[in-house]
Amino acid sequence: MVVTVKESGRDKAFAIGIYIYVFLAFIIVAYPVVYMLSASISDPKLVSSGEMWLWPKGITFDGYKRVFENASIWRGYGNTILYTVIGTLINLIVTLPAAYALSRKDFVGRNFFMGMFMVTMFFGGGLVPSYLLIKNLGMVDTIWAIVIPSAASIWNIIVSRTFFQSTIPNELQEAAQIDGCTNMRLFFQIVLPLSMPIIAVMGLFYGVGNWNSYFSALIYLNDENKFPLQLILRQILVLQEMSAQPGGSMDATTALALNNKAEVAALVKYAVIIVATLPIIAIYPFLQRYFVQGVMIGSVKG
């Protein structure tokens, strides 16, 4: 602050109010997360009775043990990683070249393509026609039903296009073309290396989306062996099908299940939430910059 005018009493009170407000928002968001972390390693009895309310009590790793012994969770994890990697690659291959083409002012037909893509934002065929299409294409119960129908998002194409427009100078490509450089070379050898930030942002946006998606798997996959993690989670967390599932230690599970099935199930739930969310939450603070950048590029009305 260059100017140092003494703050009035009212301003100070207002500033304190703002700090309290932000602090409250912080607590409201952070508390459930801390609670889940603690609950996942606490004695389930103390959790369900409410004695454990912030820090872990009666520490046990039983929940995690059960989660890691559960074969379907591992399989789900594997499937999710596969779908996320392949899906995100497809997303990038479809999005980036298209966005680059659309960013070029000398690209005849850009308005047509842009308009055609944008219509889909406001109007679509709906659930059943989409399902019938995927079915007719023979993609049901294959990985392609997961990765192809969401191959590109118009939002991300627009964000990437805005990035290319604002960072790749027109003179650069004009000079390259005068030197006889083809568009293909221009894109791969000049534009892409200059566009690492947008590649990172797009990879992250699409990657998180692929990791978290469950609905296409729910409607297009029937074979449990192909279920991604989110569908397995749905079974455990929402449909509550855990404790009876044959995992690694069936005998111990049944014995315990008879005693305090509900409490153990709750313990497993907390553990499974942590196991499923940790990869993203753990890397997110380091990548926050990129995510925020992505939203900001998108907010520039270009």
Partner 1 sequence: MQETKSNIMSSVIPKVKRKKEKKKSWNKIVQNWELYIFIAPAFLYFLIFHYGPMYGIQIAFKNFVPTKGIMGSSWVGFDHFTRFFNSYYFWDLLWNTLSISLYELAVGFPIPIILALAFNEVKNGSFKKLAQTVTYAPHFISVVVMGGMIITFLSPSSGMAVHLIEWLGFDAPQFLTDPKWFKTMYVFSGVWQSAGWGTIIYLAALSGVDPQQHEAAIIDGASRLQRIRYINIPVIIPTMTILLILNVGSLLGVGFEKILLLQNPLNMGASDVISTFVYRSGLVDAQYSFSTAVGLFNSVVNAFLLITVNQIVRRTNENSLW
Cα distances (Å, whole numbers) of residue 18 to 1, 21, 23, 28, 87: 19, 5, 8, 15, 43
Q: Name the minimum Å distance from CB 297 to partner 1.
A: 7
Cα distances (Å, whole numbers) of residue 159 to 25, 75, 293, 296, 301: 29, 34, 10, 9, 10
**Of 224-243, which residues contact partner 1 (CB under 8 A)?**
230-231, 233-234, 236-238
Confirm or reject binding of residue 280 to partner 1 (CB under 8 A): yes
Confirm or reject binding of residue 40 to partner 1 (CB under 8 A): no
Among residues 76, 87, 247, 298, which is the contact residue for partner 1, using CB under 8 A? 298
Measured CA to CA, the distance from residue 108 to residue 86 in angstroms comes to 32
181 burial level (CB within 10 Å; 0-12, 13-18, 19+):
middle
Q: Name the minimum Å distance from CB 127 to partner 1.
A: 5
Q: Give which of 192, 210, 14 is closest to 103, Cα–Cα.
A: 192
**Of 44-103, which residues contact partner 1 (CB under 8 A)?**
47-50, 53, 93-95, 97-98, 100-102
Confirm or reject binding of residue 264 to partner 1 (CB under 8 A): no
Confirm or reject binding of residue 245 to partner 1 (CB under 8 A): no
Measured CA to CA, the distance from residue 101 to residue 157 in angstroms comes to 10
Among residues 141, 170, 182, 248, which is the contact residue for partner 1, using CB under 8 A? 182
**Of 107-166, which residues contact partner 1 (CB under 8 A)?**
107-118, 120-133, 148-149, 151-153, 155-159, 162
Of 58-66, 70-78, 212-220, 253-261: span binding partner 1 (CB under 8 A): 212-220
Measured CA to CA, the distance from residue 159 to residue 191 in angstroms comes to 16
Report the helix count and the strand count for the chain, using DSSP H and E.
Answer: 15, 0
Please give the size of the binding site for partner 1, defined by CB under 8 A: 122
Confirm or reject binding of residue 270 to partner 1 (CB under 8 A): yes
Q: Name the minimum Å distance from CB 251 to partner 1.
A: 26
